[in-house]
Structures are given as structure tokens and as C-alpha cells.
Amino acid sequence: MTSPAGFDDRYDDPDQLRDQVRLLLRYRATIALGVVLGLLGGLVLVLLRAGAYTSTSEVLVRSRTDPFSTFGVAADNQVSMGTELQIALSATVAARAATALRQPSDADALLTDLRVTNPRDTQVLRFEYTGGTPTRAARVTNAFAQAYLADRQDRSKAMVTRMTTGLEAQITALTKRVMAMKSGGSSAGTAGMQQQIGILQKRVSDIRTYDTSGGDVVRRAEPPTRPSGPAPAWLVAFGLIAGLLLGVVLAWLRSALEPRARSVGEVQGALHAPVLGILPAPDTDGDLLEVGRSAGSRAEAYRALAFRLRGGDDRTPVGRLMVVAPAASRRASGTTERGAEAVAVNLAAALAESGDDVLLVDATAAAPGLPARLPLTTGDAAPTDVPEGEVVVDAGTVGRFTLRPDSRGVTDSRAATDGRGVTGDDRPTLFLTPSLLEHADGQALARRVDGVLVVGALGEVRRDDLKRVRELISCAGGHVVGVALHHVTPVGPLRRFVDSDRVRRATGRTPATTASGPADDVVARPAAPAQDDTLSVSR
């Protein structure tokens, strides 16, 4: 079956599997933790099973008749293996075995490690005892087997004594009657009594010939040569496999519950816009402007972003573009805010390199503002036709661009809705606005520009924030042209907790002004080709 576009869906399965594997491999520490826990569990099992030895003894239970007799076994001499099994596990047998082992107070404890079974269709009882040493396991097993046989022998002897005692009492009574009748001179009826006495005497003789030994030991318990259960290597291997499965499950749970966007696909899925590039993290120790002022891959990454915004054509004008971050950074380094500033400034310089007269409007109303952090043309080099309230930024080898600081920012509803600086200027204009979720008035500006460029840090920006930004811009009638992501060094949960606003307020620390970013040789990776023509922004 093929998709409506004519492509076979089965070719998407390897890519989806590859994405899932990459998603899980982001949590290598969690998987490693699961493997370590599984290995420790396997070692614990090895230690627990290392001192467990099981020894086995088998006892044949015989009936109380002549084993060589060809006649059937009487009902009172038949063996009930279910009953014998219960007797073998009784407290009486355990007490007898404990006495034989010179441990009379440990009878109940011995029963906990004893197992007695009866193989099907046999008159055999199998005694199995698990002990801490091979010798003890064999001694206890043999003690229970002998205790059972001794108990059964005592029960058989007691039964023989009871039966013979009753029969002898009957014989004595009959004999006295016969003697009394003979002494009285009457012999009538004595013959029948003497015959009955003979039968009873024969019965007593048969009972006394019963086998009262109880049975035979057909297999004597011997000390085992190795511990019971799986070998240590199998237990360790089982622990590793179980730990790996546990780590994968924990990694999957973390990925499912992770609120931050950790991949390009997650960003594009949340914002429904293409990722135009993954840029190096903004250098907090260096200059904000890098295009035209410094050489290296960082400046080239911003040039590549400008090239993609033009749709691959340097002659295509950009028009009016709004540069905004979804929300303020939750880290002390403030990567999100500085990243949006770096994208706006360097993108303006990259557009100016193509010969455009670029205007950058700083609508963040942040102190000290962009003019204090950018190289401005002053003195004789400053142009004389610059409108009031604007300054010219010296972008080095790429030229210049104009900067208009806005002290009020887009949070002033009048400045955001009257179109000042939006419709009255034909120059390519970039609007740097504060985070849209903290200052929702910026959506009024979003509907008056040609497109919105969202800036975020991969691994920091939240998927919910991206979805809310998409909804706000769509409701305002705006259009998201793409996303520019900064690649920052992953931060663990402990560092995120330490850098959180709540912890910093509780400890009285101020947000840090420096942060370690990637090296200068980080190269922007191109995004996947867009499926529509939204990469180009024109007036």
C-alpha cells in the first residue's frame, strides 16, 4: 500500500526507528544507571545463592506385609503417600531430626528449608534440604530421612502392639471359657471355641511378622559439589540484561516526560515551521556582533541563516522581520535572551553585507540596550543624514546598518499598534522584541510584519512554549517563517535546579553573567529542506 503522494510508507519505518534510538541515546546516563543497578542486583543474587547448597535423599516407603507375598495387600496395610508426605513434614519428625542433629531448639527453623516431594506413581519420598554449606545440607537431609523412617517404624510397632494385645485378650478369654467348661464335665461346644482360638493365634502370628522397618533409603544424601540454582555467570548476565531493559524503560519515561525540545523534529512539530539553522551558542564573554568583526564559523553560521531567509537568493529582499524568543530563559546564563539579540544583530550585519540598507529596531526596552554593546560610528565617520533617535553600527568589513533603540518597547500598546516604524519605512527592517509569552502585546506587531523568526536554545526551549507562541502568532494573523536554534551544552537536572530562579532567590544569588559555550569551531548545521516557500520573506 502506498501513500497518497505515491511514496511507500515502509521506507519511513527505518527513519522512525533511528529517531527513537537517537532519542533514547540522549539519556545515556539513565541507561548506564539501569545497567549498573542490574549488575549490582546480579551480584547480590550471586552472593545470596553462593551459600545455598541443596542435598537430596530418597526413601522407599513399604507396606507392612511380606514384600515377596503374591497375595493382595490388605486395606489396613496399604500405603497412602499423601498421608506419608504430611507426616514427613510434621513437627514430630522435625523434632526427632533436630534431636539427632543436637539442635533440639531449631526444629521449626529446619522445616523452613526442607522440601519433601513424592514423584508421581511411586512410593518414594524425596527429601531436599538447602543449607549454608554442602556438609550441613547432606547431614540435615539424612537426618530427616532417618527421622521419618524411625517415626514410621515406631508407629508400625505401636500398631502391632495394639492389635496383638487385643487379640491376646480375646484368646485368654476363650481359653478360660474352654477350661471352665471342661472342668464342669461338659465338652459340648468346646471344639468350636478351640478352633476360634487357633484362628486368633494365627492372626497374632501374622501381625507379629509385619515389616515394621518403615522403608529403605534408596538414595543417601551426599554433599553437593556446587551451589544450587543458576551459575554466577548466568546470574550476572541476567542482571546485565535486566538492567539494560530497566535503563531503556527509564530513558523512555524521561523522554516522554521531558518538557524541553531536544531535537529538531520536536521543535518543528511543536511550531509547525522549519528550522533554518542550528547556530553556536552566543558567546557571553565576547562581542555581540561577530559578522564583519571576527572571522570563523560563528560568523559564517549567521551568514548561512541570512541566505536561507532570502530563499537561497542574495537579491531577494527580506522585508520586515520580527525576531523573538518564546520565553525568558530559566537558566542563570540567560541563553535565550542573548541568543535572540545575537541573531538580530548578526542577521542585520549579514543582510547589510549584500548591500541592503538594514534597520534594526530594538524594542526590548532592556538596559543598557544594544547601543551600549555594539560598535557605533562616531566622529567624522558617522553619517550626517541619520534620522533623530537612530544610530549607525559599524559592522566592520561587511558595512553598516542602522539601529533604532525603543525605550518603551512593544509592551506599550500604542507603540505596538500604531504602526510606527513598520509601515513608514521601506528599508529591510528587523524588530527585536521581548519574549512573546512574557509580553503578549508583541503579537500586535506580529500581524504587521512580513514574518516572525523564533529564536530558542535547543535543549532549553519548552515544547509547550513553542505551541503557545504558534497559537498567539496565528491568532494575531502573523506568520512564522522559521526557527533559529542555538546549540548549548546540555545541563544535568542538578545544575538546572541550582540555576533555577527559586534557588537563586532563596540563596540570594544574582543571575550569572558568564556561561561556558561551545568552542568557536562549531559549524551551523543546515536544516531539512522546507516543503513550502515559507523560507523567503518579502514585502
The predicted structure's pLDDT at residue 496 = 55
Which set of grid coordinates corresponds to residue 110?
A: 529446619
DSSP class of 104: G
- The letter for the amino acid at 8 is D
Residue that has been written with the C-alpha cell 507426616 in this structure: 87
At residue 11, the pLDDT reads 45
The helix or strand, by DSSP H or E, that contains position 393, with its residue range, turns out to be strand 391-394
Domain-wise residue ranges, the chain: 53-219, 258-507
Q: Which three cell numbers stand for residue 72?
A: 493382595
Q: Give residue 343's identity as a one-letter amino acid code.
A: V
Mean pLDDT by 10-residue block, N- to C-terminus, for the chain (539 residues)? 44 64 82 92 79 88 61 59 92 93 89 92 92 90 94 88 90 88 76 87 84 85 82 83 92 82 82 87 75 79 87 71 80 65 89 85 77 79 73 85 70 44 68 82 81 87 87 87 80 54 58 38 37 40
So what's the pLDDT on residue 252? 87
Gap between the Cα atoms of 173 and 271, Å rounded: 111
pLDDT, tens digit, 9 for 90 and up, residues 176-214: 888 888 887 777 778 888 888 889 988 888 888 777 777
C-alpha distance from residue 7 to each of 18, 268, 274, 371 (Å) = 19, 22, 22, 53
Which pLDDT score is estimated for 490?
Answer: 55
Does domain 258-507 match CATH 3.40.605.10? no
| Closest to 478 (Cα-Cα) out of 416, 415, 386, 530 | 416
pLDDT at 285: 66
307: number of Cβ within 10 Å: 18
pLDDT (0 to 100) of residue 479: 87
Residue 445 pLDDT: 85
Q: What residue has cell string 523564533? A: 454
What pLDDT shows up at residue 253? 87
Q: Compute the distance between CA of residue 278 and CA of residue 296 in angstroms, rounded to an integer.
A: 16
Strands (E) across 31-102 are located at: 53-61
**Which residues face 430 on adjacent strands?**
321, 360
